Amino acid sequence: MASDDIWILGINMTKFGKHADKDTVDLASRAAMAALADGGVTMRDMGVLAAGCLMGSGGIAQQIQKQIGQTGIPAYNVANACATGATALRVAIMSIKAGECDMGLAVGVEKLSGVGLLAGGSRKDDGKTWTRQGRYGAVAGVDGRIGTDTMPGVFAQVGMEYAHKYGGVDFDTFAKISEKNHAHSTLNPLAAYSKRFTLDEIKNDMMISYPNTRPMCSANCDGGAAAVVVSDAKLKTLSLGQQRRAVKVSASILTSDPWQEACQVLPDVNTLTRRAAEQAYAQAGVGPEDLDLVELHDCFATAELVHYDNLMLCKPGEAGAFFDSGATWRDGTTPVNVSGGLQSKGHPIAATGIANIWEVCHHLRGEAGDRQIEGAKVGLAHVIGLGSACGIHILEKSAA
C-alpha cells in the first residue's frame, strides 16, 4: 500500500576530513550502522538500500551490504553529481511511496582528500591549433582557452554575473559570507575545518578564481552520511520515543536543467534551483518565510549568495542586501549554513546531500548542541550538482 507521508527515522554522518585509515566502504558502513542505531532499527528492517559514491568504481551499495547485512533487498547504485546523496534518499523515499516497502536506507560516501580541483572536460592536446573532436568537442576542447569547465571558474562567473546584473555586491560581500560560515564551523565538531577566519585573512588568501579565494571554496575531504526513512503507517507502530525523534519529509524534489541555448556552454545553476524551490514549497505547503534554518550548497561563497535569491529567501536581485542585514547568521531571521557549510564542513560529494539533511534534522530534534537554533520547526536542505541536478528537501519537526 502506497504511503504519502515519509519520515526520517534515523540519520548520522561521520566526521568529515582526512581518513587515511578508512576506505569508502568503511566510511559508508560506519555511517549506515550509526543511522540504523539512531533510528532504533536494524538492517533486517530495511526494504531497500540506495547508495552513492560518485568517484568510486561502482557497486557501492552491494559492497556496503557485505559489511552490514545482505538480506536480499533491492540495492540501487546512485550517481548524480553533487546531488548524489539527495538522490539516493529520494530513491528510498520513492520506493516507500510506491508501496514496495515501509522502511529504507540511503547512504552517500566519498574519499576526496587530496584530489585537488574537480574539473570537467579533459584536454588531450596542448597544441596551438584545435580541432573539434567528440560529443563535447565544441565546448570541452577549449577549456582554459576561452572559458572553463572547472567548478571554481563556473561559480566565479555565476557570482560575478549576479553582481553585475543587480549591483550591491562586491568582493567584500562574498568574503563576508565565507567569514560567516567559518565562524559557524567553530560550533560543529564534525566539520572538516573548525576555524574562524578574519575578513582580511579570507580576502588575502590564495586567489582560486576571482572573487573566490581559497577559504571561500568548498573543501574536498572524506566522509559518509546515511539516513533511514519510514512510512507514516509503519512509524505509528514504533515506540513513542522513535515517533518523537522522527522528522517529517514534507517535500522531496529533484530537478535538472530545462533546455536553454546558453546552458550548452555555461550551466544555469539559478533556474533549476528556483524551479526546485517552487515545487518544494508547493509540495510542503510552506513558504520561505516559514523556514527556521537553511542548509544550502555553498560550494563557493558566490554560490551561497545567488542561492539566497534562487531559494526565494529574499526578493529578486536583493541577495546582497539580504546578507548585509545579518539575516543569514545563526542569530539572524533566516540562519543559513549553521553547520559551517561546505566551505568549512567539507564536501565529500556523495555524502553532502544527506549531511545537509542531518544538520537540519538535528535542529528540528533539538539535538544540535551549542549551535542549536532554538524553536526550529521547519528547515530546508539544498544541493546542486553540475550536469545538472538540484535536490531540495523540506523537513518538519514531529508533533508527537
Q: What is the pTM of this model?
A: 0.92
**Cα torsion at 315, 332, 86, 297 (round to 10°)?**
70
Residue 351 within a domain: yes
Which of residues 199, 230, 249 is at a domain's end?
249
Same domain, 54 and 186: no
Which phi and psi (to 5°) does residue 164 adopt?
-70, -35
Within this chain, do residues 59 and 206 fall inside the same structural domain, yes or no?
no
Report the alpha-carbon distance of residue 137 to residue 321 in Å, rounded: 41
Tell whether 345 and 210 lie within a shared domain: yes
Examine residue 126 and state whether it is found in any structural domain, yes or no: no
The answer to whether residues 165 and 255 belong to one domain is: yes
Same domain, 161 and 76: no
Q: Could you tell me which residue, 159 or 147, shows the higher pLDDT?
A: 159
Task: For residues 231 and 370, state if they share a domain.
Answer: no
* Amino acid symbol at 332: G
Burial class of residue 263 in the structure, from the number of CB atoms within 10 Å of its CB (0-12 exposed, 13-18 middle, 19+ buried):
middle
pLDDT tier at 133 (50, 70, 90 boundaries)?
low
Q: Is residue 122 part of a domain?
A: no
CA-nearest of 352, 376, 348 to 362 is 376
Q: Tell me whether residue 137 is in a domain.
A: no
Confidence tier at 400 by pLDDT (50, 70, 90)? confident
Assess whether 60 and 190 both reside in one domain. Answer: no
Please give the share of the chain, as a percent, with pLDDT higher than 70. 90
Q: Residue 114 has what pLDDT?
A: 75
In this predicted structure, the answer to whether residue 183 has a pLDDT above a threshold of 60 is yes
143 Cβ partners below 8 Å, 6+ apart? 119, 120, 121, 123, 149, 150
Same domain (yes/no): 305, 184: yes
Range(s) of the domain holding residue 37 = 6-115+221-249
- List, for residues 333-391, the tens digit of each pLDDT value: 999 999 999 999 999 999 999 999 999 999 999 999 999 999 999 999 999 998 789 99
Residue reference for cell 547508495: 51
**pLDDT tens readout for residues 266-292:** 678 899 999 999 999 999 999 999 999
Q: Is the pLDDT of residue 147 over 60?
A: no
Domain containing residue 89: CATH number: 3.40.47.10
- Read off the pLDDT band of 264 (50, 70, 90): low
Could you tell me if 48 and 102 lie in one domain? yes
**Structural domain includes residue 211:** yes
pLDDT recorded at residue 277 = 98
139 within domain boundaries: no
Give the pLDDT score at 91: 98
pLDDT at 1: 43
For residues 186-205, average pLDDT: 96
In a domain, 132, yes or no: no
Which one of 229, 249, 269 terminates a domain? 249
Domain boundary among 249, 269, 293: 249
Helix boundaries (H) for the chain: 24-39, 60-68, 84-97, 137-140, 151-166, 171-185, 199-203, 232-235, 240-245, 269-284, 301-310, 319-324, 341-345, 349-365
- Do 319 and 393 lie in one domain? The reply is yes
Measured distance CA(100)–CA(264) in Å, rounded = 38
Q: Does residue 94 lie in a domain region?
A: yes
Q: Residue 399 — pLDDT band, cuts 50, 70, 90?
A: confident
- Residue 119 confidence (pLDDT): 44
Q: Are residues 263 and 180 in the same domain?
A: yes
Lowest mean pLDDT among 65-69, 78-82, 143-147, 205-209: 143-147
Examine the domain organization and report whether 257 and 239 are in the same domain.
Answer: no
- Positive or negative, the CA dihedral 84, 89, 92, 98 is negative
Q: How many domains does the chain have?
A: 2
